[in-house]
């Protein structure tokens, strides 16, 4: 950053005095050193590592002339203030989940996921070919001084760890559940007492009974935090995180100042990292699930009555937010239209195949 | 190619006479112009376009110094001889389906798919993180003078167009079905008369009753070829192509001669193209399926008895091939082990979610 600023000043001064014949070429060849603040700790290796995959590839592609140093959550920017730091130019870029900022405005949610939202393949297709990239960047991120690049997905998450069974909607009443954002707002309608507890304090809260349930990510990450030791029932699916997408937020001025080659390098590397992160979870989650089951964890699916009530509550929440927020409604409708056709195709063909293969023991 | 050959000779000559101080640097900065033969016609826009996505990105990343010109199937190399042309160095690279070459050796199938094989996410994860890339390149492609880069996937294909219903295994007896490769060998065990008819002649063959059924890709591509006009029943799923992966085959000497930056550019671009192709099909297939249904196409799933008989026949086929081909057995077991855990996780969590969402009408 300092070096870059210095080079800029040197180039500007040189151009003013005419001392350098081609300052633009000199600047294009200069080494760029960017800082990327991640919202995630190194212990969430798959998510944190996604920014590193992108950064490593950018360095390779540029022959070491465009370097991005990735800092773990909290090292240089508090985890939930990464977007702000990118907006105000403290850092050139940050790897984060857009829905962390929905307290400012619920539109931030669409970059990650919403209740009963798109799965990984639907979201990726919506972003790349369905107009999602243009819609979110033009109507939202650019207006906040951010250029957003798709850079990761957790895939479908698990519904979380419960210290008792959920057999009906009645069982949700008074349930102290660590769940935040739009899902928390939705479940509140069904009597859940939702709360946001920092990741580092969740285990203890569940162990001591301060909460009855919590949701985190999926088998691989959950197992590492040890929730299987303090709760017996592991529910699925997380209808609130059917596929949580991550972005690389880039300060818009920093983005605009990049050369064509460097823009291409960062964009391609983030797309590659998006795929690599999903592939990593698809590699790590199946054996972790097996280990959890072998260790005594009881798997449970949310009953259809609970899914139906949650879906209805989510639609009410969407209607309330939409009535006060036109852009929220516009993007919601855009995602919903894409999803409506997609779920039919998925269920029909690959759903039938995956379902059949799930019955086979080789 | 000609320019490159010329540059090589110039560099070699210069080195021999000592006329150039640093031929390796001069060569690193020279423009590379490669030819890529696709196995696919331009009419298969999604598949053909995948090689163009990769080529365009490589050109951007290299600032126009590494250019790959993509030729449609048959323009410079016959569609089913792309691998041979890459191996013998006629072209630097080719975009093709590895299983086109299984007539030479069934091991070629694993780069694409096998009966009851992995879906898109499983295959991608196996390739990137599960050791698939290393296994196939080290034990197979490199020994044939090819470096293979993952570059595309059709996702789960449809089971094809049938002029009559398949209600039991008996209905397969004597069925004249355009289906090739290991699936053809499998179905032969159940009485199917399998045949390979070129894509351009399939429509007429089905219309005239030369065949009773054919399989091609999925709703988007099938609709363009008009099969809905000559067959009523559209079956799913294609257990023989649960996700057909494509590769960019690169001549191994050409690959080894690339600079680090150019290797990174080609690899990252192919990974990006892999994701973009799946996303394109996920964008195009759902509306195409809706149009087909609106036009009167009757969807049918293969009965469980037919799936079970096909699965059993496939295992027999695998055992026969494995008994004569140790490497086939090794890779088969490697893929099967990865798939066995993966299908359970997929069915459990995302399967439950996708299935629920398929029942919703917003």
User: Is some CB atom of chain A closer than 8 A to the CB atom of B158?
Assistant: yes
Q: Which of residues 308-327 of A touch B (CB under 8 A)?
A: 311
Quick check: B362 and A236 CB within 8 A?
no
- What confidence score (pLDDT) does residue B29 get? 64
Residue of B nearest to A357 (CA): B343
Q: Per the structure block, which two tokens stand in for B6? A: 């010329």
Size of interface A-B (CB pairs under 8 A): 231
Chain B interface, best mutation among A115, A275, A316, by max B CB count within 10 A: A275
User: Could you tell me the CA-to-CA distances from B161 to A101, B179, B186, B209 in Å, in that order?
Assistant: 49, 11, 18, 12
User: Is some CB atom of chain A closer than 8 A to the CB atom of B278?
Assistant: yes
Helix (H, G, I), strand (E, B) or coil at A230: coil
pLDDT surpassing 50 at residue A206: yes
User: Is some CB atom of chain B closer than 8 A to the CB atom of A144?
Assistant: no
| Helical H segments across chain B, by residue range | 2-17, 23-29, 45-61, 82-87, 120-128, 132-136, 181-188, 202-208, 219-225, 252-257, 260-294, 304-324, 326-357
| Beta-bridge partners for B234 | B161, B299
Q: What gap in Å lies between CA A166 and CA A298, rounded to an integer?
A: 13
Q: Per the structure block, which two tokens stand in for B29? A: 């900065």
Find chain B residues with C-beta within 8 A of A299's C-beta. Answer: 348
User: Is some CB atom of chain B closer than 8 A to the CB atom of A46?
Assistant: no
DSSP letters, A171-190, are GGTT-EEE--HHHHHHHHTT
| Beta-bridge partners for B96 | B247
Handedness of CA A229, A233, A235, A241 (dihedral sign): negative
| Helical H segments across B71-191, by residue range | 82-87, 120-128, 132-136, 181-188
Give B351's contacts (C-beta < 8 A, 6+ positions apart). Answer: A351, A354, A355, A358
pTM: 0.92
Find chain A residues with C-beta within 8 A of B355's C-beta. Answer: 347, 351, 355
- In this complex, the residue of B129, B344, B357 whose CB is nearest that of residue A279 is B129
pLDDT per position in chain B (362 positions), as tens?
A: 333 333 333 333 333 333 334 444 444 568 999 999 999 999 999 999 999 999 999 999 999 999 999 999 999 999 999 999 999 999 999 999 999 999 999 999 999 999 999 999 999 999 999 999 999 999 999 999 999 999 999 999 999 999 999 999 999 999 999 998 899 999 999 999 998 887 789 999 999 999 999 999 999 999 999 999 999 999 999 999 999 999 999 999 999 999 999 999 999 999 999 999 999 999 999 999 999 999 999 999 999 999 999 999 999 999 999 999 999 999 999 999 999 999 999 999 999 999 999 998 65
Helix (H, G, I), strand (E, B) or coil at B63: coil
- What confidence score (pLDDT) does residue B145 get? 98
Q: What gap in Å lies between CA B186 and CA B203, rounded to an integer?
A: 24
Quick check: A268 and B264 CB within 8 A?
no
User: Is some CB atom of chain A closer than 8 A to the CB atom of B210?
Assistant: no
């Amino acid at each position: 950053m300092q070096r870059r600023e210095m080079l800029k000043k040197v180039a500007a001064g040189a151009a003013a005095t005419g001392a350098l014949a081609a300052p633009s070429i000199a600047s294009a060849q200069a080494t760029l050193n960017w800082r990327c603040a991640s919202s995630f700790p190194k212990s969430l290796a798959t998510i944190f590592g996604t920014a590193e995959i992108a950064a490593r590839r950018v360095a390779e592609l540029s022959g070491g002339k465009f370097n991005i140093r990735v800092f773990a959550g909290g090292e240089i920017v508090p985890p939930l203030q990464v977007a702000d730091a990118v907006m105000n130019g403290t850092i050139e870029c940050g790897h984060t989940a857009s829905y962390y900022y929905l307290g400012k405005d619920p539109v931030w949610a669409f970059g990650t996921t919403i209740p009963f939202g798109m799965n990984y393949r639907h979201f990726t297709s919506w972003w790349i070919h369905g107009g999602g990239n243009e819609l979110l960047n033009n109507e939202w991120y650019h207006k906040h001084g951010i250029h957003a690049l798709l850079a990761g997905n957790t895939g479908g998450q698990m519904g979380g760890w419960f210290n008792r069974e959920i057999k009906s909607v009645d069982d949700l009443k008074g349930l102290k559940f660590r769940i935040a954002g739009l899902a928390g707002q939705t479940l509140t309608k069904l009597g859940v007492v939702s709360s946001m507890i920092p990741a580092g304090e969740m285990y203890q809260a569940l162990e001591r009974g301060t909460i009855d349930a919590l949701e985190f990510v999926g088998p691989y990450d959950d197992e590492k935090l040890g929730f299987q030791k303090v709760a017996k029932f592991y529910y699925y699916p997380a209808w609130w995180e059917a596929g949580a997408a991550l972005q690389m937020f880039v300060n818009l001025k920093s983005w605009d100042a990049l050369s064509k080659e460097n823009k291409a390098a960062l964009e391609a590397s983030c797309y590659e990292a998006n795929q690599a992160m999903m592939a990593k979870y698809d590699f790590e989650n199946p054996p972790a699930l097996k280990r959890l089951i072998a260790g005594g964890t009881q798997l449970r699916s949310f009953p259809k009555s609970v899914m139906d009530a949650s879906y209805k509550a989510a639609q009410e929440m969407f209607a309330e937010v939409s009535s006060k927020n036109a852009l929220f409604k516009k993007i919601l409708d855009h995602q919903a239209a894409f999803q409506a056709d997609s779920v039919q195709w998925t269920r029909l063909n690959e759903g039938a195949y995956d379902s059949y293969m799930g019955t086979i023991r080789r």
